[in-house]
Structure 1
Amino acid sequence: MRHGSIRVLFKQTNMSNLLTDRQFWVNYWESKTGLSVNIPADYLFHKELGSIISTQNVKTAIELGGFPGYYAVFLKKYFKLDVTLLDYFVHQPVTNALLKANGLSESDIHIIETDLFNHRELQKYDLVLSCGLIEHFNDTGDIIQRHIDFLKPGGTLLITLPNFRALNGWFQKSFDKDNYDKHNIGCMDPELLAGICRDQGLQVVQAKYFGHFSLWLENEQQKPAGLRMLKKSLWLAGKVLTKVFPFNSKQLSPYIILEAKKPV
C-alpha cells in the first residue's frame, strides 16, 4: 500500500466501490509512529511536480486523500503554493506536528475534512494531486472524474499509484495478502488510465511506469525475521540490477504516474 505515504479513503453511498472502510484507516494510522518527518527537497516525484509548477504557472493546488499531508506540506514548503488538503479522515494534531517539523504553521495549509463523494462546493485548482488513492476504488473512472471536478481550465492533474503488477506486487500477494487485497490491481495500467482521461476530454502528457525498482512491507518491524531478511535480499539485488541497467518497466517499476491537462 505504501506510496510515499498511505492515503486515507472517502466513503461513498455505493460501498461496493470501496476496497477499504473508515475503521481500516483509523486502525492503520493508530498503528503508525514517526509520522512527523522533515520532508526533503528531493521527495518522491519532486522533479515532476517542479516541472509542472514552473512551466504551468501553478499557484493553487489540492492534495486529495492525502492525510497527514506530506505532499501538501512539500508544495507549501518548497514552492509556496496556496495548498489545500482534502480527506475524509484528518487527525489534526498529526498534521500540525508535521507542519511544525517542516517549519510551517497551522494556517499554512487549508484542510477540508469531508466525504469527497458528497462534497459539492468545489473550488477549482491549478494542480490536482493524489498519490496512492485511486487504487483503493473499484470504479477507476469515477474516482478519476472526482479529481477532474476540482481542475481549473488549463489545470494539471497528477495521479500516482503503486504498480502491483511488478515484482513488488508478487511480494505483497505472497507475503501480505491482506494488504494486496485492499488494492484494485486492474487499474494499475498506464494505458487504461490515459484512456479514461482522454474520454473525459483531457490531454494526456504522460502515463507510464515510474521508478527503477523498490520493494516494501507494511509494518515491516512486525513481520517475521525470515521475511524481513528475504525482503532485504530481494531489495538489494533489485537495486544493484537497476543501478547497472536503469530503466522503467512493468516488471520492476514500483509506481505508475499519470499527468494530464484540462483544456482552457
Structure 2
Amino acid sequence: MDNLLTDRAFWVNYWERKRGLSINVPANYLFHKELGTIIKEQQVKTAIELGGFPGYYAVFLKKYFRLDVTLLDYFIHQPITNSLLEANSLQVNEIKVIETDLFKYEPEQRYDLVLSCGLIEHFVDTADIIKRHIGFLKPGGTLFITLPNFKAVNGWFQKQFDPENYKIHNINCMDPELLAGICRAQGLEVIKAGYYGNFSIWLEDEQHKPRLVRLFKKMVWTAGKVFTKVIPFNSRQLSPYIILEARKPAF
C-alpha cells in the first residue's frame, strides 16, 4: 500500500463531504469528443472506468453510446451511484459496479476501452498503476487516461491555497512523455500524449476558502480564459489537463 498517496478513509471522507453529486451528465461532458472518436473508429462495445466513483464517465458512456459499462473503485457508496443513474434515466442494473482494491483484483474480463480520469496521479509508482490499467485491455483495445496538470498555473494555485490537496498528487507523473514511454515499454502504440485544454483553475471545496482567495481565483480564471480565447493553445504552462491515449496490439 506504500504506492498510495491516499487511503480508503480519505476517499470516504472526501465523498461524504460532497453535495449535489447526482448531476445530469451532459452530452458535451469533458473529453466527449475524444471518447466519441475512439468509440466510433474502434467500434467499442465494452468499457470499464477505473477509480471513477460515483461513475460520471460510466454513465456518460452508457447514456450516449449504450456501451456495456463497468465501474470499478476502491470506495463505492451504492446509493449515490444509484441516484446518479436515476438522474440520467438509467436503471440500477445498466452499469456493473465492482468495489475492490485494484492492487488485489484479477480482471474477470477484458474490455475494448479502459479509462480513468483523475486516478493515476494519486499513486507513487506511475508505471505500476498504468500496467494495472493495461491488464484490463482486450487485444486491440484502447487505453484512455486523463489527469490534472499541476505543473501549470493551476498547480501553483493548489500549492499556494490548498497544500493538503496538492500533496496527495504525484506531480512527477504529470509528464506526457513519461506516460507515453511507460505505454511503449508495455508494447502499446501511443496515439496521443499531451496537454489538454486552453486554461482553467479550480480549488477543492472552494466555497469554504477565504473570500480573498476566492476573489483572486476568479480574477485569474477570468484573465486566463480571456487570454486563451483570443490566442487558444494547449501548453504545459496553462493547460489544466494531460491526456493519454494508447492502443494494445490486436495480436
TM-score normalised according to structure 2 size: 0.99
Deviation per residue, 1:73-124 (Å, 9 max, x gap): 0000000000000011100000000000001010110001111111124310
SS of corresponding position for 1:118: coil
Find the counterpart in structure 2 of residue 103 from structure 1.
Answer: 89
1:189 aligns with 2:200: no
Q: Alignment RMSD, CA only? A: 0.5
Does the 8 A contact of 1:122 with 1:149 survive in 2? no
- Separation in structure 1 between the aligned mates of residue 87 and residue 46 of structure 2, nearest angstrom: 23
TM-score normalised according to structure 1 size: 0.94
Find the counterpart in structure 1 of residue 99 from structure 2.
Answer: 113
Find the counterpart in structure 2 of residue 11 from structure 1.
Answer: none
Find the counterpart in structure 2 of residue 61 from structure 1.
Answer: 47
Find the counterpart in structure 1 of residue 22 from structure 2.
Answer: 36
Alignment of 1:1-264 (within 5 A): 15-264=1-250
- Separation in structure 2 between the aligned mates of residue 71 and residue 94 of structure 1, nearest angstrom: 15
Tell me by how many angstroms 1:233 deviates: 0.4
Find the counterpart in structure 2 of residue 5 from structure 1.
Answer: none
Q: Which runs of 5+ in 1 are unaligned?
A: 1-14
SS of corresponding position for 2:157: helix
SS of corresponding position for 2:2: helix
Q: Which runs of 5+ in 2 are unaligned?
A: none
Does the 8 A contact of 2:107 with 2:135 survive in 1? no
- Separation in structure 2 between the aligned mates of residue 119 and residue 171 of structure 1, nearest angstrom: 36
- Separation in structure 2 between the aligned mates of residue 90 and residue 233 of structure 1, nearest angstrom: 36
- Separation in structure 1 between the aligned mates of residue 185 and residue 24 of structure 2, nearest angstrom: 39
Aligned length: 250
User: After alignment, is 36-45 or 114-123 more displaced?
Assistant: 114-123
Does the 8 A contact of 2:25 with 2:60 survive in 1? yes
Deviation per residue, 1:126-166 (Å, 9 max, x gap): 00000000000000000000000000000000000000000
Tell me by how many angstroms 1:170 deviates: 0.4
Does the 8 A contact of 1:17 with 1:138 survive in 2? yes
* Amino-acid identity (%): 74
- Separation in structure 2 between the aligned mates of residue 88 and residue 187 of structure 1, nearest angstrom: 21
